[in-house]
Every structure is written in structure tokens, then in C-alpha cells.
Structure 1
Amino acid sequence: ATPATPASAATPAAPATPATPATPATPATAATPATPAAPETPATPVTPS
């Protein structure tokens, strides 16, 4: 009689895929410093008539 075919060895499971490390959060965008207001334009002195 034909010898029994040996059972195929179970294929070992693929190793677990390592979890992708979390991408670190982008550092907070630094707030743009407020543009200082332009200094007040000095009033033009009234030219005496």
C-alpha cells in the first residue's frame, strides 16, 4: 500500500507585525507674535494762518 502522505507541517504563523510607532504629534505651531501696532502718527501741527 502507498505509505500515508505525511501531513504537511503547519506553516508557522507570520510573526506579528510590530505596531508602527505612533507618529509624534507635530509640535504646536508657535503663535505668530502679534504685529505691534504702528506707532501713532503724530498729528500734523496746524499751520498758523
Structure 2
Amino acid sequence: MKHSISDRDAARKHVWRARIILLTYEGLGTHAITTPSGKLKTTAWGWQE
């Protein structure tokens, strides 16, 4: 998968997306996922779907 130079954080974004999915699978709620990471609830909700 190619990424543009403007998206230097692409790898980091993939890690956070995977983390949200795995933590959701483990039963953690949105608050428990977003608080330590600093991510928005809407970001977590999008990947939890």
C-alpha cells in the first residue's frame, strides 16, 4: 500500500485503528479506549462499527 508524503503518520494511524478494534473485542468501553489514547469518541465509534 502506497502512502503520500503528506501522510507521514499512516503507520501510526493503522496501529491506533487496530488497537481500537482489539480493545473493543476485549470488551473495553469507548471511554476506556479513548481516554488514555487521546482519540475522540467519534473516531472510536467509527472503528467499533
TM-score when normalising by structure 1: 0.18
Larger Rg: 1
User: Which is helix-richer, 1 or 2?
Assistant: 2
Greater RCO (Cα-Cα under 8 Å, separation 6 or more): 2
